[in-house]
Structure 1
Amino acid sequence: MSPTQGSGGRTLIKALLAALGLVLSVVLLSTAFFKWNLRGAGALLQPRFPLDEFVRALPGHLVWLLPFLLLQASVIPLRAVQWQSTLRRPVPLKERYHLVAIGAFVHNALPGKLGDVMRSFLLSRTQRIPFLRCLGSVGVCKLMEFAALMLLVSASLLGPFGGTLARFQGELKVAVYLCIGLVALVVLLAHWSAPLAHAMHRRHKLPRLESFLHHLSEGLGTARSFVGMARVFVFSVGPVLASALAYGMALHGIGISGGLFAGAVVLGAISLGQSLPGVPAGMGLYYFVTSWAARSLGATPEDAAAFSTLTHLGTVISQVAVGAWSVHVRKIRIRDLRKGGSLAREAAHHVAHDAVEPAPP
C-alpha cells in the first residue's frame, strides 16, 4: 500500500468516526426533548412537551442564569490557585491564570476536549518544564477535584434532600470505588516510576519508557507524600464547590426543593459522563445526563430541558468569554489552537521530544 493510499484510509476512518460521534451526540441530545419510541406503534420521536411553550418559558429561567455564569467563571481563577500546589517550583499566578483560562477556552470552544493538554503544553513552553511533568501536575489536580467532588456528593446525602438523592447511591458507590482506585494508582506510579526508570537506565533498556517514567515521576511528585496530597485536596475544594453551587442554584431555580444540596450530584454525573478527552459525543452526553438527573430529582421534562440548555450555554459562554480574553492578551490566534494549527503541531512535536529525551541518571 502506498503512503497516499494509507493516508486516504486514515482520513476515511477519521471521517466515519466523526460522523458516528455526531449521530450519537444528536441522539443523546434529543433525549432531553423527545422520547424515542422503539416499539413500532406511533411516531419514532415523541415530544416530551410542546416545544413552542418551552421556548416562550426560557426567559423566566434567566433569574438564576447570571449567578450561574459568575460561579462558573470563578472556577478558572480557583483552578489557577490550585495548580501551584502540584508544581515543583513557583509559577506566577498571572501566568497560571492565563493558561488555565486558555485551556478552558480550548475545552469549550474547540472539538476534542483537550484544554488540559493545551494548558500543560503552554506551561512547558513558557516555563521550560518537560511536558509530561506539566501534564502529571494537571492530572493530580483533576484527580483531587474528583476526590473532593465525591466527598461533597457523599455529604449531600446527609442533607435535607438525602431521601431523594438516595436513588443515586448505586452510582455513587461505583464512582467512589473508581476514585479510590485512581488515587491508589497515582500514588503507586508516583512512588515506583523513578525506581523503575533508574533500573532501566542501569540496564540500558527501553530508553523511551525510561524517559516517560522519569518525567511521570516528576509530574506526580506531589502524590509521594500524604501532606502533599492533602494540600492539593484542600485547594481542590474551591473549584468543585463553586461549580456544585452553580448547579445547585440552577436546580433551585427550576423549582426543585432543596436543589442547592443536589448540585454536587449533578456535577458528579456530568464529570463521569465527560471524563474521557476526545469523546466526540460530549455535548450529547451532557444533555442526556443533566436532563435525566433533573427529571430524577423531580423536575418536569420541560424544566429539565431548560436546565440542560441554559447550564450548557452558561458554562460555555462564561468560560469561553474569560478564556477568549486570555487568548487575546497572550496574542494567540484561534486557528493555531485547533487541531492541525501551529500550536497543536508544536505540542505534538514537544510530546515526541519528551518521549525520546534521555532521562538523567
Structure 2
Amino acid sequence: MSEAAEARRARPGRLAQSPWLWGLLGLAVSAVLMWLAMRNINFDVFFSTLEHADAAEMALAALLVAAPWAVLGLRWRVVARRMGPPGALRMASLVFLGAAVNNSLPGRLGDVARAVCLARDTRRSAAEALGTMVVDRIADIIFFTACLGLTYTVFPHQRWLVWVAAASVVAVVAMIAIVAAVVAYARRPHASRHRWGAVVTRALGRLSDGLTSLRSPRDVALVVLFTALAWGALSLGNLFGVRALGIHLSLVQAVFLTTVISLGTALPSLPGFVGTYHWVASTVLQGFGVPPTQAFAAAVVLHALGFLLTTLIGAPIMLREGITGSGLRSRARSVAAPGASALAAPQDPRGDADDGHPRVDVPDGDRPCAQHGVVADPEPRQDH
C-alpha cells in the first residue's frame, strides 16, 4: 500500500475533524436537557431560594468543591510516577488547567491538555502521558460504579438507574478490555516489515507504558485512597451546597447525587457540562422529594460552584501555558495518527534510564508546558 493510501486510512473521520459538528451536537443535547430541567420552574420561588441561601454553609461547600482537584493532582502524580512527574503543586495546577479547558473549549480536550503538558514537563512521549490519563479515568469510573451499586437503594425511582448502571459496567469492562488488548499487542514480539506497522507498534508501546504505570500495591492503594478522598470531599461539598438552600440530604444521598452527576455528565454537551449537569442533578433531587424549582436552584448552585472555582483557578494557568482549542485538536490528531512525532519520546543525551526509557531530571515546580502553544512537537528544550 502506498504512503498516500496509508495517510488516507489514518486520517480521522469527518466528524472527528470538525469541532463544529461536535459543538452542534453538544448544543442540541444541552438545550434539550436544560429545557427539561426548567420546564416546571417558578422563577419567583427560584430567586427567593437563592436569596435566602446560608452564606457560611455556601462558603464551606465552595472549599469542599475545590479540594478534590488538588487531591486528584496527588493521585495523578502517583499514576505518572514512572515518568518522573513534577511536584504536587504543578500536577494539581494541571488538573485545574484541564478542568478550565473543559469549561471553556468544545470537545472536552482537558485530558489532552494535561497529557501534553506532562509530556513536555517530563520530556517523555505524549502517548505515554495520555496512558496515565486513561488510568486516571478508569479509576474514576470504577469508583463511581461501585458507589452506584452501594447507594442506589436510597433512590425511590430506580428503573432508569438500571440503564445507568449497565452503561457504567459496560464502560468499565470495555476500557479494561481495550487496555489489556493494547498492552498485550505492544508487549508481543513484533517486527513488522512495513514502516507503518512498526510505528504503530512503537506508539502502542509508549501508550502501554502509561497504561501499566501502576505496578506496586502501594501505588494502587494510594490511587484508591486519593480517589475516595477526592470524591468524598465533593460529596460533602454537594451536601453542604444543597443544605445552604434548605435542602437536607443524608450523606448516602449526597454520595448518590455526586455519583449520578459524574456518570451522567459523560453525555455530549456544551463546554462546562451546561444542561446535562442541571438536568441530572435536578432529576435526582426531585427523586428525593425536592420540589422542581428548589431542585433546579440547587443544581444551578452546585454547577456554579464547580464551574466558577475551577475556571477562576485554571483559566490563568491555561492562558500562561498558551493553550488553544486548535492547538489541542492538532495535538490530539497527531497522537492518534500513526507516524506522528508526538508519539516518540525525546532522547536524553545522557542515555536511557533504568526503566528502559529516555528521560531527563526536571526539578519540581511550575514550568510552562508550551512556550509557543501546544502545536509544536514535544522536543526537549535547551536550558539556558
Report the TM range for the smaller structure's normalisation: 0.7 to 0.9
Whether the 8 Å CA contact 2:33–2:276 is kept in 1: the answer is: yes
- Residue 10 of structure 1: how far off its partner (Å): 8.7
- Describe how 1:1-361 pairs up with structure 2 within 5 A: 15=20, 18-34=23-39, 48-63=40-55, 64-87=57-80, 88-91=82-85, 92-157=87-152, 162=154, 164=156, 170-171=162-163, 173-175=165-167, 177-178=169-170, 180-182=172-174, 184-185=176-177, 188-189=180-181, 191-196=183-188, 198-201=189-192, 206-222=197-213, 228-275=219-266, 279-280=269-270, 282-327=273-318, 331-332=320-321, 336-341=322-327, 345=330, 349=334, 352-355=340-343
Whether the 8 Å CA contact 2:99–2:310 is kept in 1: the answer is: yes
* Percent identity for Structure 1 against Structure 2: 23
Whether the 8 Å CA contact 2:54–2:244 is kept in 1: the answer is: no
111-120 or 200-209: which moved more? 200-209
The structure with higher relative contact order (CA 8 Å, sep 6+) is 2
Output the CA distance in 2 between the equivalents of 1:248 and 1:171: 25
Whether the 8 Å CA contact 1:85–1:235 is kept in 2: the answer is: no
Give 2:29's aligned amino acid.
L
- Residue 19 of structure 1: how far off its partner (Å): 3.8
Output the CA distance in 1 between the equivalents of 2:158 and 2:136: 28
Which residue of structure 2 lines up, in the alignment, with residue 38 of structure 1? none
Give 2:143's aligned amino acid.
A
Give 1:194's aligned amino acid.
A
- Residue 275 of structure 1: how far off its partner (Å): 2.5
- Residue 97 of structure 1: how far off its partner (Å): 1.9
Output the CA distance in 1 between the equivalents of 2:216 and 2:224: 12
- Residue 210 of structure 1: how far off its partner (Å): 0.7
Output the CA distance in 2 between the equivalents of 1:24 and 1:231: 37
CA offset digits 1:61-117 (Å, max 9, x no partner): 354432222112111210111012211143221221221121121122333221111
Whether the 8 Å CA contact 1:251–1:262 is kept in 2: the answer is: no
Give 1:75's aligned amino acid.
P
Give 1:55's aligned amino acid.
F
306-315 or 235-244: which moved more? 235-244
Output the CA distance in 1 between the equivalents of 2:215 and 2:35: 45
Output the CA distance in 2 between the equivalents of 1:186 and 1:222: 16
Structure 1 residue ranges without an equivalent (≥5): 1-8, 35-47
Give 1:339's aligned amino acid.
G
SS, match of residue 37 in structure 2: coil
| TM-score normalized by the length of structure 1 | 0.77
Query: Which protein has the bigger helix share?
Result: 1
Which residue of structure 1 lines up, in the alignment, with residue 378 of structure 2? none
Output the CA distance in 1 between the equivalents of 2:314 and 2:264: 23
Whether the 8 Å CA contact 1:149–1:264 is kept in 2: the answer is: no
Alpha carbons of structure 1 residues 285 and 223: separation in structure 2 relative to 1, 3 Å: same
Alpha carbons of structure 1 residues 194 and 230: separation in structure 2 relative to 1, 3 Å: farther
Give 1:150's aligned amino acid.
T
Structure 2 residue ranges without an equivalent (≥5): 1-13, 347-355, 358-384
| TM-score normalized by the length of structure 2 | 0.73
Output the CA distance in 2 between the equivalents of 1:184 and 1:12: 27
CA offset digits 1:110-158 (Å, max 9, x no partner): 3322111101101111210111111111111121122222333334357
- Residue 245 of structure 1: how far off its partner (Å): 1.9
SS, match of residue 206 in structure 1: helix
- Residue 291 of structure 1: how far off its partner (Å): 1.3
